[in-house]
Amino acid sequence: MAPEWRFLDGSLNLTMLQKLWNDDGGALIAMEYLFIATILVIGIIVGLSGVRDAVVVELTELGNAILALSQGYSFSGLTGCCAFTDGSQAIDTPSLLVTPTCTPPFVPSVIDVIPCQ
């Protein structure tokens, strides 16, 4: 049942209004939760962008380490008993991953199809 706001004679119940005016149990806590949640979300976004940059650097270093492995080989030919075989050699020059380049946005081509009229 809803509380009565007026007495039977029609005058206002000031004690009830005073209790409602002084009651802030919840409004302050909700604002604090909102403030903390906002700070946490901003911190998570900044932290994840830092993690992204670190992962890109580590994967680039891993790619460079894999590319630095030499797959080159060589062996000399064999000679003996009036026969010989030639040797062989393959040279693998190590390379590095290129750093990504930022390309400016371009105007996309128009793909709209105009129906026959």
What is the Cα Rg of the chain in Å?
A: 39
Distances (CA, A) of 105 to 49, 101, 102, 108: 22, 12, 9, 9
pLDDT for 49-83, tens place per residue?
Answer: 989 988 888 888 888 888 777 777 777 877 777 77
- In degrees rounded to 5, what are phi and psi of residue 69? -65, 130
pLDDT for 9-55, tens place per residue?
Answer: 666 666 766 777 777 666 667 788 889 999 999 999 999 998 998 88
Kindly report the pTM of this predicted structure: 0.46
**Ramachandran sector of residue 10 (left: φ over 0; alpha: ψ -120 to 50; beta: rest):** left
